[in-house]
Every structure is written in C-alpha cells, then in structure tokens.
Amino acid sequence: MLIHALTEMQFYPSTRWQTPPAFHAAIKSAHASFRQGAILQFEDADHLPLGKMSHAALKQAVAVALKDGFHNPWPYTWVQVSKTDPETATVWTLVGTKLIAVLHTPVNTGVLHSTPDGSWPVYERVPVTTMKGAFPTPLTPYQQRLYRAAKSAGFALKGTNIDHWHGALVQWRPYDDPGIKWVSYFDRGRALHYFPRAGYGWPQSAGCVEMPDKAAHQIFSTIHYGSVVTVSKGLRQAEQVPGSNLSKKVHKKWPA
C-alpha cells in the first residue's frame, strides 16, 4: 500500500513512465534505495521529520496525503554518475510521463575506486560546508620500496598513516577544506558538490563526486531530498547523452 500510494503521488517511479534502460537496471538492483528516496522526499514535501517517523506513523501520513490529493510538488529527478572516461553526471527529470536528461556535466569521482558503484538517496543537503577527512595518496615505486624495506628490517612505522587501499599502498593525508558549495550527501560522507579543479572528467577526489561551480549549483537547485544518485562504471553507447566539456542543459526524449 505504501509504495502504491507514493507512486500515485509521483514520489516513487511508475511502470507507466518511459525511462532509459539504465534507470530500469538501477531500480532492479537497488529497489530499497529508491523506496527510501521516495519516503524521504515525501517527508520533506509534507514537512515531516526526515527519517524519524515510525512505520505506522508514516503509513498513516501517506494515507492521509493520498486521500487529500497531495502530489509531489517537484518533478521526479534521478542523478546518473558514469565513471567511464570522461566521467560525467546526468540529471534526469520527469516531464509528463517521460524521464528526460536535462543537465549534463563532467565530474570527478574518487581515486583508487573510492566512489563505489551503487544507488543511494540524497539524505542531506547544505549550500556550503567544511569537509574534513583523509585523502589516499598512492606511494611512488621508490617510496614503496623504502616502506617495505623498513618494515622488513623491523622499524617502528607508527604514525606514517600508510595502508593498503583497494590494492594500492597509500599514505592517508588529512584535509580540511572550508567553503565547499552545493553539497548533496548520498552515501555516508560522499556527496555531489562543487570543488575547484583545473579540469574535470577523471578520478581526483577522496570519494565524492566533484563538479564545476555552475553545474553543481544547477544540480543542487534541480534535485531534492530523496533524489537517487546512481554511480556505475559506464553507460552503453546508445545511452550516452550528447555533451561538451561544459555543463549545459540537454533535452533528449526517449521513443514511446
């Protein structure tokens, strides 16, 4: 009943919508994430506490909203992040009954596979914040030889912050970056956000999805709490959205 009601109010995808194959694949592999996203977006739209309601209270709120003719005040949106070179993010928006690509931009995901594949709903949004953490910096071959020689010789290596990370020997270097704008958290500390780089389109971050300022602002203004972010290794050629190295609006309709 819950999913049916959320579907009727357009918080959850309908089988009547015309959507790209990648969207079908994402829902099939991560149904729970889309369900959670629909609930979060409903709670936000109905001015309810996010993620804090009991199941019974949520069902009652949804039933009352459906009876009163409540409807999602925003178009349904989905964010697709492709880790194919060049890395990109595409925002899809429901227009009528079709999911259409409306924003496309180059992005940076995490170095050493620090941005995993999967789907997650946006659970927190802030226009600006300070991000703190540690960045995995790969050791050079020379540094690796020194490290292994020191370890073999029995030297104490505490405090070096050296560890294995996704098959690579890295040194964790702390960062403390203020003024990070247009932030939408989706997977623990990972988020869509602006970060100044000389270029975009290849892995450079500690795990977040970084993008240019204008693109980040556009995406932040288009998506909402509960919008699902899907990260994958790539798109099929037929699903590639035409784009340049600049963020721009695109309009691509899928055949009926």
For the question of residue 251 being annotated catalytic, the response is: no
71 assigned to active site: no
- Which position among 31, 71, 208, 251 bears the catalytic label? 208
Q: Of how many residues is the chain composed?
A: 256
* Catalytic choice (31, 47, 164, 193): 193
First to last CA, the chain: 29
Distance between CA 10 and CA 99 in Å, rounded? 12
Q: Are strands 77-82 and 228-232 parallel, antiparallel or unpaired?
A: parallel
Give me the active site residues, please. 193, 208
